[in-house]
Structure formats: structure tokens, C-alpha cells
Structure 1
Amino acid sequence: MSEPITATAPPAPPTRAPYRWRWAALFVILAGEVMDLLDATVTNIAAPSMRADLGGSEGTIQWMGAAYTLAMAVGLITGGRLGDIFGRKRMFLIGAAGFTAGSLLCAVAQTPEVLIGARVIQGLFGSVMLPQGLGMIKEMFPPAEMGKAFGMFGPVMGLSAVGGPILAGWLVEADFWGTGWRMIFLVNLPLGLAALAAGMRFLPESRSPHPLRLDMGGVALASLGGFLVIFPLVQGREHDWPLWAFAMLVASVVVFAVFGLFQSRRSRSGGDPLIVPSLFRKRAFTGGLLTGIVFFSGMAGFMLVFNLYTQMGLGYSALKAGLAMAPWSAGMIVGFGLAQPLQRFGRRLLQGGTLVMALGVAGVLLTLNITGTHPNPWQLAPALVVAGIGMGLLMSPFFDIVLAGVEEHETGSASGTLTAVQQLGSAFGYALLGTVFFDLLGGVPSAGSFDQAIKVTLWVVAGMLVVTFAVAFLLPRQARENAEAAH
């Protein structure tokens, strides 16, 4: 799930008259958020049905999620700049149109390759659409209403997190007009067209008076580096880990090093780098990137593997699998709510959330050991609620802590980079934990192999949470401390 509206930015000048249609425009922006939030999770539920219909290898299941999030990660870094340069309304509409077209291509795909390509289109256009909301909200709303406007995102994200998997499972199982899994993408068409029509009517014209220039060289290097990590992790297992898989992983390190040098050189020469190099001299920001990529990898990978386990291993229907995941999403909403009055604890709240989430993962492992190879959703629910609460507690202070110490001229680059790392971590999690899971299943999966695969994968997730807890010590104790250190 992407978080493009999490950055804290200076409010609009108080002398500016509030935009007349600001609340209608906000709902247009929220419609774009809903499309992204739904499509970031629905393939986890529908993946087994997609593969059964279209064919393809086990890697196809991983690519359905990884292709979307990797494309989103690359595009988000520069998506906000496109709005600053060409106009936020224009880029939102282009992004919404492209995302809707990509959804249609997903729905009509007849091969796994076409479906994966269409997912890339969705991710790229989504990364153009989503970042525009922040700039428009800052200009539309007066300071007194800014909190209410941003407050709308929490319930929308929560409802999407709970409803997305259930909706996907229901649509797949209902099989309206024989569409099967294709309906999970077709539902984007009326939502996307409505967002386009309302956006042309209600969104304000908005752009930055001093936009940064595009860094296409940086985009190319970042894209290549991400691909060189994800591709061998997904495809290497299917080819028995050939030499080229390890060569690509080594090459990714070289490419990212070249990317860093390129960004420094561009900054020194007076250009506009994709990522402002001074950010990496801030311990809090660097620690935030490490914390984020480890945590979001574990979270996304767990969600994929758990849905595969319930459907392929336990024989749940798509709807039952979606309902089985609902306690996790509900717990996340509770966690966000519990975290609001506890923000002053900063890093301790984040680390406490990590421990609660680890406790939930341990609870899932304990449940599997007690119930054997055929647990039912009610038996899994308590541990999933605890894990979800921990995730909500962890995520609530994360962005504020990491971004609070960023200088004003670094805010756009920092928020875009942090959000992109969230998506890149998700892609990495799909690749890594999906590979661990499928590797343990073996050629002819049995109930015992599924049981072993999910347990080992959960241990890996627990290990990633331990790393998250440790790396979080690089973060300041609270957002205020971070901001004071920066100045």
C-alpha cells in the first residue's frame, strides 16, 4: 500500500481564499487513493485463480504484485515533479486515465506476460496520479481545515485495507457474467471514469512557481538497480540459481553505487538530483530508509504468502481467504487509533509496535503448532489482530519521525524517496518471501510441505521484525528531537 500523502509540509498562506470546490476535489483525490489501495492488495487474493486461468510459473504469482510495486516505486520519486512542472491537475488526470486503461488491459489479458505488463502500466500511471494530491490539498485548504482534510485519509485507507481483500474474494467467487478474477480490475473502470469526470470539473489548476527539473538519468539508474535485485530473486529459483542470478545481484550493488555518484555530481553541478544527496548525511533519514525497506518487505511478503497458504494449502475459497485476512486489517485500524494519543513516545512507540507485531506473528506460529495442518479462520484471527495492531502502532509515527528533521528544500525529495522505498520494500518482500515459500513447497506440494513452508516463512518475517527493531535505534527518539537536530 502506498502512502503518498504522509509528508508534513508548510500550510498554504493564510491570506489565500479557500478553494470553492475543495471538498469535492478532496473526494476526487481520495478516489485515486482507493484505486491504488485496492489494486495493491487484490492480486494477493486472486493470484491462484489468475494462474489457474492463464497458466505461468510460480514466479508469475510473485510478479503480479512485484511488477506493480516496483513500477510504483520508480515513478513516485519523480511523479511529484511532473505535477510541479506541467500542472498537478493535468498530471492527476493523465495518471487516472492511464491507471484506468491499465486496469482494462489487466482485465482482458490472455497471457501472464500481458497481465504483468499491464500491472507495470498501472504502477507507473499510479505513481503519476497519487503524488499530486498533497500539493493540491496544500493550496485548496486553509490551515484551519488542513487537519480535517488529511484526517480523511485514515478512514479511507482503513476501509480499503479491510474491504479490499474481501471485495476481491467476493468478486472472484461470484464470477459475474463469467468474468471470474477479471472483475477485480473491471471495477476500476467506473471509479476511474468518475474520477476523471469529477477531476476535470472540480480539481484546481495548480503547479509549483519554482519546479525542479527532471532527472531522467537518475530514474533510469534507479529503475535498473531495482530490476537487478527483484528479477533474480523471482526467477533464480525456477532456474536452480544459475550464475547469472548472482551476477545480477552483484551488478545491482554497482548500479546503486553509480546512482549515488551520479546524484552527487548532478547536485554539485547545480542540477536537480532525483534524491538530494544531503539527505544521506542525516542519520535519521538513512535509518528511516533502512527501517522502512526491512519492515515493508516483511509486511508485504507475509501478506502474499499467507494468502497463498490459505488458498493453496488450506483449500480456502478466494472469499474465505479474504475474510481470513480481515482481522489483520482490522487490527491495523485499531493500532492507528491507539497510536494517536501516544505520538509523543516517538521511536519507543514504533519499536513497541514492532514487538507487538512480532508477538502476533509468534501467535500465528503457535496457532499452527496447536491446530496442526488445518486451522480455521477463527483460530487464526486472534494472532492476526495482534499483528495488525502492532503494524498500526509502528506505521503511525514512522513518517513523521523520519521526515521531521528534513530541511524545507529537501522535503519533496525526502517524502518521495521514503514512499518509493516503501514500494520497493514491498516488491522485495514479494520476491524474497515468495521465493522462500515456493522453494520449501518442492515439486509436489503436500499438506505437510505447506505447513513447513508457512512456518519457516513466518520465522523469516519474525527475523525481519527483529532487524526492524534494531535498525530503528538509528531514528531519533521523537519527531521534535529530529527537527531540533536539523536546525
Structure 2
Amino acid sequence: MAQITLDAPASHAPVRLGRLLTIILAGQFMAILDVSVVNVAAPTIRTDLHASGAGLQLVIAGYTIAYAVLLITGARLGDRLGHRAAFQAGLTVFTAASLACGLAGGTGMLIGFRFVQGVGAALMVPQVMSLIQRNFTGAARARALSVYGAVLAGGSVVGQVVGGLLVSADLFGTGWRPVFLVNVPIGVVLLVAGARTLPGDRGEQDRGLDLPGLVSLAAATLLFVVPLVLGHEEDWPLWGWLMLGGSVVVFALFVVAQRRASAPLIPGRVAGAPGMRAGLVTIFLCMGTFGGFLFSVALHLQGGLGYSPLRAGLFFIPGAGGFALASLNWRRAPARWHRPMIPAALVVAGLGYLGLEVFESGGVGFEVAMGLAGLGLGAAFSPLLAVALTHVAVADAADASGLLVMTNQLGQVVGVATFGTLFLSVAPPTGHALTVTCVALAVTAAVGACCATPLLRRRG
């Protein structure tokens, strides 16, 4: 990633902050990329390792499950260990697990190492927003969050393109293995650069870990995510529905326990900060449509139109470009437009989704609709982050970071599961399935726009 120079607080040099942002967002980029890059390599992995359908699903989903379940835990550990130490430790685990994945000799080993990869990402990723919150102020923070939003979009799309390139190249007969091994040299460079650049902090050793809260939230998330990820592959078995019901019960217990805890995992002042609750709901719906959009369109392009993984990945470039363009430039609009921009942008994204079903056979119209959807999502997501964090104290940065990142990730997991299931449940041809799914995506974007209306009221 190119070095970025931003306005800095008086205590830091601009170049140092530019390097800081480059390092932490490069780590974020790798973590996001690894969610999508394996999808393209899945057929080759299945053939090479003779993986069963369930085994292959766990290879793909294991990373996401561990990542989503442990994000809040990773945020709190960042508070205790120090954000620099937690970021470096997570990056070390992620890089080592990437090497192990690339050298795995069987399906079981690959599944295990993918879980470890997710653990490393869950420790590393929450520190990104915490470090932004603690080291950037005012306009510099808003710009940093804009670049953060662009990285999220870029990682999701680049993963599909890079995966297609690496698998098609079959470097030295290694097939699918480079999709994991490519992380190793990047991770090593980031570790060295991070040791020199990331600001040191001792952490708060006396801050409680709230182990009951950690365990109950992790259990609730696990019970919720596993059936969503594996449910369709397993034809929605009874155990999946029991897990979903159990997740509601365990989450209710978590909420009750948080109210009584002396050092709650999610302090009430964070969840109750002005704009936070509406922001969380809107982010969940926004990124839910994003995840469903990526998944269903990829299935349509490859399964319905017969495109290769690489060609299908290239079709996502207008969407990623639109997302990045809006994320990087929304602050150029007058300040009075920033909050109204959020619901308006979600309406634009909904129009883009409807355009996809109109031009479902591909071509220029399809790419324009992709760009419109990406533009709307980017113009909503980055302002959402800025508004949600406006009234969060620096001391609560880690908790707010874990909460926002977890909401973002769960939104995408739920989006893939619900809209992906809808797409796969509609009888062929895939053009009809895409029509039904895109209408559902547009409706959800409209609901998100309604949920964002409380953010129009300025407070403080």
C-alpha cells in the first residue's frame, strides 16, 4: 500500500502517522482479503486434498467463524496488553498460520490452521480502529476512517481477483497454496515495520477481562454464526435451528450479566453513546447487503453466465472502485450534508441492486449498476463510522472498535447466509434467482436508510 500522509496532532509528525496508517491498514487488508480469496481456490483445494463437501465448507468458513467469535475478546486484550503488542501478536499468529495453511498436507490440517488464522485476525483487526481512534483527531481521523472504508471494499474484491490469478498461474505446480503463502512475505515486512513505527503503550493491566462476559458472548456468537455458515450446505438440519435458538438465550444471559458486571465487556457508555446504537444497526444492514451482494453476484457470474473465476472477479472492480471513491471523497461535501448522506446513499445502493437484475445478462449496464451499488455503500459506510465514533471517549476506543468491527463482520456473515440461501433456493436459471435476491437487497438497503434517520439529529 502507498504511504499516506495525514494531518496529525501536535505530538506526532505527519510522516509517522502516515506510516502508522499504512501498516495497520495493510494488516486489515490482508485479514479482509483472506475472507474471499479462498472461495476462488475452493475447487482446486477439493480436488488436490480430496476434501468432502463439509470439509471444504469448514476450510472456507473456519476462518470467518473464529474471526467473528473472538473480535470483542481481541479488542479487550488490546486494552490489557497494549494495542501495539496486540497488533503485532495477532499479525505474527496470522502470518505463521498462513504459512502452515500453504504447507498443509490434508483437509484436517488446513481446517485447523484456518481457525488459527482467524484467531490471529481477531486479535489484530480490532487494534486498527483503536489505533486510529487514539492517534488521529478531527479531520485527520475522518480521513483515516475514509481510507479504512476503502480498504474494506478493496480487500473483498481484490481477494477474488488475486485468488483467480494465483490459482490460474499454478506457480511451480503449487495450485491453490500461493493464496495462503502470499501473506507470509507481506506479514514479515509489516512485523518489521510495525516494530519501528507503531506507538508503544503499556496497556491497562488492571482493567478487568470480564471472563463470564467473554465466554458468554463468544458462545452466543458461535451458536449464531456456525449454523448460518454451514446451514445451507447441510440442508438446514435440526441442530442448526437449535443452535440459533440457543444463541438468543445465551445472548440474553450475556446482556443481563453485563448489567451486573463491575467491568463489563461492553460498557453502557459505549453502547449508549449518541449515534452508536442507530449506527450499529445501520452498519449491520449495510454490510449485510454488501456480503450478500458479493456472494450472489459471484454465483451468478460463474454459475449462470459461465465466467471463469478471474473474469468474474474483474467484474467487481466497478463496485470496489465506487466504494473506494465514495469512502475517500465524502468529506469533500459540505459538512451539513454528511449525516443526510447516509440514508440517501443507502437508497442509491438499493437502486444499484435493482439495476443488477435489469442488466442480469452482463455487459456495460451490469457494470454501471455494480458501480452505483458500490458508490452508495461507500458513501454510507464511512460517514457511519465517523458518526458512531464521534461521542466515544478515547479511553473506550478498544471497546468501540471491537463492537463496530464485530457488527461489520457479523453483518457480512449474515448477509452471505441469508441472501446466499435465498439465491440458491430459487429455481434456475440464475437470472431469476438474481432478480429475487436483488429485490431483497434493495428492500434491506431501504430499511437501513430508515434506521439511519435518527443519525440526522446532531448532538453535541
TM-score (norm 1): 0.82
Q: Verify the 8 A CA contact 1:74 1:219 in the aligned structure 2.
A: no
The one-letter code sitting in structure 2 at the alignment partner of 1:296 is: M
Hey, what does 1:175 align to over in structure 2?
170
Hey, what does 1:476 align to over in structure 2?
455
Rounded Cα–Cα distance in structure 1 between residues aligned with 2:133 and 2:347 = 35
Shift of 1:353: 0.8
Rounded Cα–Cα distance in structure 2 between residues aligned with 1:279 and 1:89 = 22
- For 1:366, which of 347, 358, 361 is the aligned residue? 358
| 1:449 and 2:429 correspond | yes
Rounded Cα–Cα distance in structure 1 between residues aligned with 2:216 and 2:241 = 19
- For the structure 1 residues 70 and 380, does the alpha-carbon distance in structure 2 shift closer, same or farther, using more than 3 Å as the test? same
Hey, what does 1:213 align to over in structure 2?
208
Rounded Cα–Cα distance in structure 2 between residues aligned with 1:362 and 1:58 = 33
- For 1:353, which of 345, 368, 377 is the aligned residue? 345
The one-letter code sitting in structure 1 at the alignment partner of 2:125 is: L
- For 1:90, which of 78, 82, 85 is the aligned residue? 85
Q: Verify the 8 A CA contact 2:147 2:327 in the aligned structure 1.
A: no
Instruction: Map 1:252-263 onto structure 2 (within 5 A).
Output: 252-263=247-258
1:162-182: CA deviation from partner (whole Å, max 9, x where unpaired): 544322221121111122232
Rounded Cα–Cα distance in structure 2 between residues aligned with 1:348 and 1:323 = 32
The one-letter code sitting in structure 2 at the alignment partner of 1:305 is: S
Q: How many residues align?
A: 452
Q: Alignment partner of 1:226: what SS? A: helix
Same amino acid, percent of matched pairs: 36
Hey, what does 2:4 align to over in structure 1?
none
Shift of 1:344: 2.7
Rounded Cα–Cα distance in structure 2 between residues aligned with 1:402 and 1:142 = 15
Shift of 1:286: 2.1
Q: Verify the 8 A CA contact 1:295 1:468 in the aligned structure 2.
A: yes
With 461-470 and 114-123 compared, the bigger mean Cα shift is at 114-123
Rounded Cα–Cα distance in structure 2 between residues aligned with 1:155 and 1:463 = 24
| 1:330 and 2:321 correspond | yes
Shift of 1:465: 1.2
Rounded Cα–Cα distance in structure 2 between residues aligned with 1:135 and 1:280 = 16
Shift of 1:76: 2.6
Instruction: Map 1:123-162 onto structure 2 (within 5 A).
Output: 123-134=118-129, 153=148, 160=155
Q: Verify the 8 A CA contact 1:66 1:430 in the aligned structure 2.
A: no
The one-letter code sitting in structure 2 at the alignment partner of 1:326 is: I
Shift of 1:310: 1.5
Rounded Cα–Cα distance in structure 1 between residues aligned with 2:265 and 2:30 = 26
Hey, what does 1:445 align to over in structure 2?
none
5+ unaligned residues in a row in structure 1: which ranges?
A: 1-10, 369-374, 442-447
Q: Verify the 8 A CA contact 2:126 2:405 in the aligned structure 1.
A: no
- For the structure 1 residues 111 and 286, does the alpha-carbon distance in structure 2 shift closer, same or farther, using more than 3 Å as the test? farther
- For the structure 1 residues 360 and 126, does the alpha-carbon distance in structure 2 shift closer, same or farther, using more than 3 Å as the test? same
Hey, what does 1:315 align to over in structure 2?
306
The one-letter code sitting in structure 2 at the alignment partner of 1:167 is: V
Rounded Cα–Cα distance in structure 1 between residues aligned with 2:199 and 2:274 = 38
- For the structure 1 residues 58 and 51, does the alpha-carbon distance in structure 2 shift closer, same or farther, using more than 3 Å as the test? same
Shift of 1:277: 2.8
- For 2:373, which of 347, 369, 387 is the aligned residue? 387
Hey, what does 1:274 align to over in structure 2?
265
Q: Verify the 8 A CA contact 1:66 1:426 in the aligned structure 2.
A: no
TM-score (norm 2): 0.86
Rounded Cα–Cα distance in structure 2 between residues aligned with 1:301 and 1:110 = 32
Q: Verify the 8 A CA contact 1:44 1:307 in the aligned structure 2.
A: no
Instruction: Map 1:288-303 onto structure 2 (within 5 A).
Output: 288-303=279-294
Q: Alignment partner of 1:315: what SS? A: coil
Q: Verify the 8 A CA contact 1:324 1:377 in the aligned structure 2.
A: no
Hey, what does 1:244 align to over in structure 2?
239
Rounded Cα–Cα distance in structure 1 between residues aligned with 2:141 and 2:271 = 30
Rounded Cα–Cα distance in structure 2 between residues aligned with 1:75 and 1:219 = 9
Rounded Cα–Cα distance in structure 2 between residues aligned with 1:20 and 1:339 = 24
| 1:227 and 2:222 correspond | yes
Rounded Cα–Cα distance in structure 2 between residues aligned with 1:62 and 1:17 = 46
Rounded Cα–Cα distance in structure 2 between residues aligned with 1:235 and 1:131 = 25
The one-letter code sitting in structure 2 at the alignment partner of 1:42 is: V
Rounded Cα–Cα distance in structure 2 between residues aligned with 1:55 and 1:458 = 35
Rounded Cα–Cα distance in structure 1 between residues aligned with 2:347 and 2:60 = 27
